[in-house]
Structure 1
């Protein structure tokens, strides 16, 4: 694991970017319309020493022409856009003072062929926590008419697959965020009672310490005593959806400031 020598990082105040037009793509039928809401100051984001911080402030073309987002701390890890069925990851304004963010396809009523999109960070040893304490989180904005049974925000590893997994998702129409951790075959989950599906920006962070799994929403922390083994996914980190298939749990809102922080081993 990387031992950081960085000094604490703050995110500079930037002029909000103009929102791009909302579109679900030709393959799907959308339900609901994202209403414009006043942008309150976004929650604080702790980034100092993190293994990865995707601020989505800058986008560039990758080797195959797909959009890519770089580590805001200047690291070499990048996030590449992956899409299907006319879906797209759109650059939008973040919360006040937070620069840019990314928006994912809206809800779709079709049984198949709905627009899909995600940002994929390639497998990297620095993002595999092992038995070290670690945290993963993001800022999210989810209108109440864009909820679904399951909306995956950021994760490594997949439900139903072999190996370990860590995940942050938003559950049900109530829009309640939850953290899920699968280590050495054991699955633990903690859910917040604070909804994030009100169209405002919220900061959600999951943490695994030696014997506690916690979820924090805008500073409100819920903890659950757990005993977990070493976590090794060996898989990419995916933001916005676990995949681009018909039954993958697409997140339908906006995401900003994805931070993954693995504490160095003693």
Structure 2
């Protein structure tokens, strides 16, 4: 079993929590749906520096490739799960399926965005940052909710942003190659308040941090030798389409991954 390490806390994860799906791959109510999301389209990219060292998806043109066509996104779904586009900040964002009453049940609607192999996003031992803007209502929290993920925690390597648990506290997770130790930087602040929040995870040498709206809210020490390298896809909104896919519930926008030279 893997170890979870973060903010001075080390606990043992259960086997069920570790099992990963095989790689394939403003206050008030939520904003209204303004259109169905196509399976593939072309969003804009907010900043040119991300093109050289990573990717950024704004979804303002729908769902699909970044402006340079380096990383296509495709909709994957099961049990009637659907994605839709909703207005946000003068552009568009992606709404994911509603919360399922029985978390992890086979009958739960599931839908994510997934790229093809994305090895060029591997940070190795280098510094990098990743994150997204998210909107989660208090009633939309769940046991597991992945915002963005690349790789897996078992027999692989991984970086992930999640909003797990009823409290709605985001956390940044990384796992190095040839290791079963899971490092977690858990935010002290909940974001499940029906307002938009920008969450950023940053790894620099031996430190992993999580920031909410530009303010650091959690950190964890990690080995400076930790390396993340895999050929897995980038996944947004869940790790796959199996019943235990850690389906995100809410709205996501401005997803980014940036390697820092």
TM-score, normalized by the shorter chain, greater than 0.5: yes
Task: Say if 2:258 is the partner of 1:247.
Answer: no
Separation in 1 of the partners of 2:128 and 2:83?
Answer: 27
Give 1:164's aligned residue: 157
Partner SS, residue 145 of structure 1: helix
Give 1:54's aligned residue: 57
Give 1:223's aligned residue: 219
The 3 A distance-change label for structure 1 pair 243 and 132 is same
Task: Say if 2:194 is the partner of 1:202.
Answer: no
Task: Say if 2:258 is the partner of 1:261.
Answer: yes
Report deviation, 1:158.
Answer: 2.4
* TM alignment of 1:72-111, pairs within 5 A: 73-94=67-88, 96-97=89-90, 99-110=91-102, 111=105
Report deviation, 1:46.
Answer: 8.0
Partner SS, residue 147 of structure 2: strand
The 3 A distance-change label for structure 1 pair 22 and 107 is farther
Contact 2:34 2:87 in 1 (8 A): no
Separation in 2 of the partners of 1:157 and 1:245?
Answer: 16
* Structure 2: segments with no counterpart, 5+ residues: 1-30, 37-44
Summarize deviations over 1:34-56 as a string: whole Å, max 9, x none. xxxxxxxxxxx984512101101
CA RMSD of aligned residues (A): 2.1
Contact 1:47 1:259 in 2 (8 A): no
Contact 1:19 1:91 in 2 (8 A): no
* Structure 1: segments with no counterpart, 5+ residues: 1-17, 24-44, 60-67
Contact 2:186 2:219 in 1 (8 A): no
Separation in 1 of the partners of 2:116 and 2:244?
Answer: 22
Separation in 1 of the partners of 2:137 and 2:239?
Answer: 21
Report deviation, 1:21.
Answer: 7.5
TM norm structure 2: 0.77
Q: How many residues align?
A: 214
Separation in 1 of the partners of 2:95 and 2:204?
Answer: 31
Separation in 2 of the partners of 1:171 and 1:230?
Answer: 24
Separation in 2 of the partners of 1:181 and 1:47?
Answer: 25
Report deviation, 1:247.
Answer: 1.7
Separation in 1 of the partners of 2:171 and 2:219?
Answer: 12
Separation in 2 of the partners of 1:202 and 1:46?
Answer: 17
Contact 2:46 2:56 in 1 (8 A): no
Alignment equivalent of 2:174, drawn from 177, 181, 184: 181
Partner SS, residue 81 of structure 2: coil
Summarize deviations over 1:14-44 as a string: whole Å, max 9, x none. xxxx832899xxxxxxxxxxxxxxxxxxxxx
Separation in 1 of the partners of 2:256 and 2:222?
Answer: 23
Partner SS, residue 131 of structure 1: coil
The 3 A distance-change label for structure 1 pair 142 and 209 is same
Separation in 2 of the partners of 1:137 and 1:125?
Answer: 18
Partner SS, residue 246 of structure 1: coil
Report deviation, 1:255.
Answer: 0.2
Contact 1:52 1:75 in 2 (8 A): no
Separation in 2 of the partners of 1:120 and 1:148?
Answer: 21
